[in-house]
Amino acid sequence: MNFILVPLHTDTLETASYSDNTTFYVYAAFFNVLLTYGMETAFFRFFSKSEEKGKVFSTTLISLTVTTIVFLLIVVLFNEQLAALVNLNQTYFNLLIGVLVLDALVVAPFAYLRATGRPIKFTAIKLSNILVYVALNFFFLWAIPRFALNFPNYDSNDLVKYIFVSNLVASIITLLLLSPYFFKTKLQFSITIFKQLLNYGWPIMVAGLAYVINENFDKWLLPEMLGKDINGAYSGCYKIAVFMTIFIQAFRLGAEPFFFNHAKELNAKETYARIMKYFVILGSLMFVFTVVYLNLFKELIVRDESYWIAIDIVPIVLLANLCLGIYFNLAIWYKLTDKTRYGMYISIVGAIVTIIFNYVMIPKIGFMASAWATLLAYGSMMLISYQMGKKYYPVPYDIFRISGYLVFSTIISAVSYYFFNEDYFISTVLVLVFLTIIFLLERNEIKQLLKK
């Protein structure tokens, strides 16, 4: 459903306004990491192995609630100064703070639903959030202008503001739906558990900040170096990689608590290895399919041709996100061995690559440098994590096949994009060839899985 907002936003917003929308969510991602300070992953780690699960949840809930309220008080006291510091319109800044505070308050309840295996309720609330957000976006950006509806103080010259208003309303409703979990358990705060959570979580926070840099530094730097119009076009085309992004996000939501809960199983490492292989197979298929039919997707998702100047970034960004997904799989070694500081170091390396490559190469090759920087950052993080994981928590990954699927999908995508662009017959044949190879290599294991 978020996917259908991209054509709405790119149709109704000029590239400069779309750049403002992107900047808003860059700051949202940055402050969200600070406000949760690694507590979500720390909660999964200690909740899965603790005998006092209620106390772990209660401590997590109280700590996040208190720090969020303290953050809100500081922002209220220094509102104008902070808005000027981040160079955001005052209205946009206040809406940003509202969204941040509300989203931080529901982190613990959402984590509890995931840790206790309640995907139906989790999904229902998440979908409610998205439904409200999407519906309000269409109301403000499409219905009001289209049918000349009378809405108090509606400003047709500042449509981007209503995207943020929609987000705020959706976050309010989500908090209301999750409010019972603030009273579901006996409120008790354990200093011992809090210290354990904090010691485990703060490297996750630093790694999260580095991840935000890897994912968003380009969208923060491009307006300064190349202008808002270029950044808007770049950000719009970047959204075409939404298929891979949603796939990875869905995987992370289920995989993280699963990895922790199955760590004590005798065949845990073999299970992780199998999960990795099929993750790469599905991700590679998604990569190839999106690139092969990219011209169709761009007309479906980003219909305004003024955005298409940045379309060449899409194959690179897709491959970069696939590398990121593999890195998330590999990250189990430092999470299960409580060596989260190594995850922090790896993410910092990726952030350094992102920053240096963008600064050096944007003046030389323009916005394409940002796409290549993303691939180099996530690719290096993936390789470093794999090498370190072999030492601290060796998992028997089928490297030969995993590497083969990655290389072959990259070759097929490159051949299709650069030599048979818009020749859908040949491109479809290439996809079928890839599917056939996967089936021939995996047919025995697939049959066994289907029997189970």
Is the pLDDT confidence value at 298 over 80? yes
Same domain, 233 and 144: no
d(CA 40, CA 35): 11
Confidence of residue 342 (pLDDT cuts 50, 70, 90): very high
What confidence tens digit (pLDDT) does each residue in 199-234 have?
Answer: 988 988 988 898 888 888 898 899 989 998 999 999
Domain of 14, in residue numbers: 1-36+53-189
What confidence tens digit (pLDDT) does each residue in 115-136 have?
Answer: 888 889 999 999 999 999 999 9
* Mean pLDDT along residues 391-412: 94
* Mean pLDDT along residues 15-39: 89
What confidence tens digit (pLDDT) does each residue in 39-73 have?
Answer: 998 998 888 777 888 899 999 999 999 999 999 99
How high is the pLDDT of residue 452?
67
422: left (phi over 0), alpha (psi -120 to 50) or beta: left
Of 56, 79, 59, the C-alpha closest to 67 is: 59
- Does residue 47 form part of some domain? no
Of 193, 115, 98, 428, the C-alpha closest to 289 is: 428
Query: SS3 for 392?
Result: helix
Same domain, 178 and 217: no
Beta-carbon contacts of residue 259 (< 8 Å; ≥ 6 apart): 272, 332, 335, 336
Query: SS3 for 1?
Result: coil
How high is the pLDDT of residue 1?
67
Same domain, 69 and 183: yes
- When the pLDDT of each residue in the chain is averaged and rounded to a whole number, the result is 90
Same domain, 124 and 229: no
Is the pLDDT confidence value at 420 over 70? yes
Query: Which of 127, 156, 189 is a domain's end point?
Result: 189
* Mean pLDDT along residues 151-169: 93
* Mean pLDDT along residues 238-265: 83
How high is the pLDDT of residue 2?
62
Same domain, 172 and 227: no
How high is the pLDDT of residue 321?
93
How high is the pLDDT of residue 340?
84
pTM for this entry? 0.81
Triad 290, 292, 295: Cα angle to 5°: 80
- Does residue 44 form part of some domain? no
Same domain, 173 and 244: no
**Cβ atoms 348, 210 nearer than 8 A:** yes
